[in-house]
Amino acid sequence: MQGLRLRWWTAQNPRMDETNKPRIIKFSGPEDVYCAAVDAAGSVWVKSLLAFALVEQQRLEWAHHRLATTGQRAGPLDLVRWYEEQPPSVITRALDGAQAALDDYSTHSMDVFDDAYRRQVADDVVVGEIRKLSRLAPQVGISVLGGLIGSVTFTAFLIVFSWFVLNEPSPNVISKSLRQHQEQSSHEFPRTDPSTRP
């Protein structure tokens, strides 16, 4: 149906007249504005829909202004007159406004996408670092345990060493102690000479 309307509109309102001069387009209603917007926008149908919506927004603003100033609602003949009074450049302005709106929307969409993508990358980096730390935790535990065992061993060595140093067991004292111990054991168990055996 849209293609049929567009062909009807372009047949009724060719861009050039028989002398190859641009023809002045007269609009009689919203269908004409829609067909002109579709024809001017070409294959970008979203742009043509936005342009049509902008022209209709102008019509609604005009109707509200008329109601506010005169107190009367616009009738069907008033609406036809309004459409007929619109110059062909209304489509060009509407298409420019539609393009600006599409550009703003695409910029906003890209900003939102970029922000979401950056946030996702940052979250992935943080999660990756946390995973690395979780793999590091057993290694840290083993290192701490090894450090504790080493410090306990070193402490025991220091205690034994300090006991020897503080008690001052010199080699003379140790040899005397061993001799006394040997003499005591020889008195308790007398040595028998093998030649004196019965």
Domain limits, the chain: 2-122
CB 80 within 8 A of CB 30: no
Q: Please, which residues bridge with residue 149 across strands?
A: none
Note the pLDDT of residue 22.
Answer: 39
User: What global pTM score does this model have?
Assistant: 0.49
Give mean pLDDT, residues 48-60. 91
Give the separation between CA 98 and CA 51, rounded to whole angstroms. Answer: 5
State the pLDDT confidence band at 179, using cuts at 50, 70 and 90.
confident
State the pLDDT confidence band at 59, using cuts at 50, 70 and 90.
very high
Helix or strand run (H / E) with residue 85: helix 76-85
Note the pLDDT of residue 177.
Answer: 79
> In the 8-state DSSP scheme, what is residue 25?
P
Half-sphere exposure in the Cβ direction for 163 (13 Å, CA): 5
Helix (H, G, I), strand (E, B) or coil at 22: strand
